Amino acid sequence: MLKKIAVLVSGGGTNLQALIDAQNSGIIKSGEIVCVVSNKTGVYALERAANAGIETAVITKKEYGESFDEKLAEYLTERKVDVVVLAGFLAIIKKPLLDAFPDRIVNVHPSLIPSFCGDGFYGLKVHEAALEYGVKVTGATVHFVNEITDGGKIIMQKAVEIQDGDTPEVLQKRVMEEAEWKILPEAVEKLCSSL
């Protein structure tokens, strides 16, 4: 029986698209994306999900305040979700959601953890920091989510070389194409097949 996957998003949904494509091509064969939830209205990720025939919802902190994580957990539990994937989800996950899905929430981070991670490191900020520091190799990490930002057990990593003349935007694109879009679907399949 296929495991039910929920994908949480906040933006354009490029990692969501990688997951949809991986599902369609058979890379993800032990699970199926049953819903996509955004914490922001009007983001392109919701359109990507709708185009793929996947149920969407918007649950915002503005609307639910302190009960945001409880509302998310309730929505996902009602849909009997097995695995939760954070794909560019720009909200810190709190106890109600962590408790509802122990060792079943994964995140992709655009660096090789433990470098350039934790509070404040997201999006272009990660790549800016890597370039500023002068590292020669960066990459992406898929890890379990716990109460520490980017602190959960690592599932997969993939290295990406930094090239002369890289800008944060160029590096971000290369890390997505060469690492994130490859290891996120593989890690999701690995988790689904192990449940």
* In the chain, domain spans: 3-194
Band (88; pLDDT cuts 50, 70, 90): very high
- Active-site residue, selected from the candidate residues 109, 127, 143, 174: 109
Question: What's the whole-number mean pLDDT along residues 145-170?
Answer: 97
Architecture of domain 3-194: 3-Layer(aba) Sandwich (3.40)
Interatomic CA distance for residues 161 and 79, integer angstroms = 40
Residue in the structure block whose two tokens are 């716990």: 146
Tokens (6 digits) for 40: 């922001």
The reported pLDDT for the residue numbered 87 is 96
pTM: 0.96
The reported pLDDT for the residue numbered 85 is 98
Amino acid at 177: E
Interatomic CA distance for residues 100 and 128, integer angstroms = 35
Over residues 36-83, the pLDDT tens digits come to 999 999 999 999 999 999 999 999 999 999 999 999 999 999 999 999
The reported pLDDT for the residue numbered 119 is 93
CB-based contact 97:83 (threshold 8 Å): no
Look up 109 and say whether it is catalytic.
yes
The reported pLDDT for the residue numbered 83 is 98
Band (156; pLDDT cuts 50, 70, 90): very high
Average pLDDT, the chain: 97
Band (142; pLDDT cuts 50, 70, 90): very high
- What is the percentage of the chain residues whose pLDDT exceeds 70? 100
Band (193; pLDDT cuts 50, 70, 90): very high
The reported pLDDT for the residue numbered 106 is 98
Interatomic CA distance for residues 169 and 175, integer angstroms = 10
